[in-house]
Amino acid sequence: VKQTPQDFLVLIFSLVLGSILGERIDLDGLLQKFGEVLKKRFSKGNDRFVEGFITASLLFCTGSMAILGAIEEGLGGFPNLLFAKSLLDGVSSLALSASLGLGVLFAAIPLVLYQGSLTFFAGAAQTYLSQAVINEMSAVGGLILLGLGLVILDIKAIKVTNMLPGLILAALMAAFFL
């Protein structure tokens, strides 16, 4: 697939505008509050519960495999990518839960909601999804995953959750401009 300057502009603008929108809505704060509610209900003094929940949620819900796998299944294809991703996520969850605790388990809630929504969206919008839309969503997801890597490695504190609206904006911008 040949990349054009328009592809790059859609990527940058959707990520920047999505991050601004996420900051205005404060998605990170909402996810933190949800994690705190789960922590009070299910955790027994684990200080890293919310960190485990958010880190695992972002790790499992962003990236091209999560997006492409859900879209592939929604379009009626065999969910090979989701099977491969589930194996990778399973191994990752073992490592994460060893260091971050029970919060990692509860990342299944946003994962099911996110991938289920993408699958439903792909099935409903099957006639409108072009390869350009899928490519841009995957590219934005990859950059969000890169940001999550910087957070996990403690290189840079980024509110990665606030970048998630960029995925929706990437799809909309690609549909209109590419």
pLDDT, tens only, 137-172: 888 888 888 888 888 788 998 888 899 899 889 989
Q: Which is nearest to 133 in space by CA: 68, 37, 62, 86?
A: 68
Domain with 149, as residue range(s), is 5-177
- Say how many domains are in the chain: 1
Q: What is the pLDDT of residue 79?
A: 84
Q: What is the pLDDT of residue 134?
A: 82
The span from the CA of 27 to the CA of 19, in Å, is 10
Q: What is the pLDDT of residue 1?
A: 58
Ranges under pLDDT 70 in the chain: 1-2, 43, 45-46
Q: How many CA atoms lie within 13 A of 20 on its CB side?
A: 6
Alpha helix (H) residue ranges in 26-164: 27-42, 49-61, 64-74, 80-100, 108-124, 131-152
Q: Is pTM, for the whole model, over 0.95?
A: no
The span from the CA of 24 to the CA of 2, in Å, is 34
The span from the CA of 71 to the CA of 166, in Å, is 17
CB neighbour list of residue 169: distance below 8 Å, 6 or more residues apart? 13, 14, 17, 18, 21
Q: What is the pLDDT of residue 46?
A: 65
Residues in the chain: 178
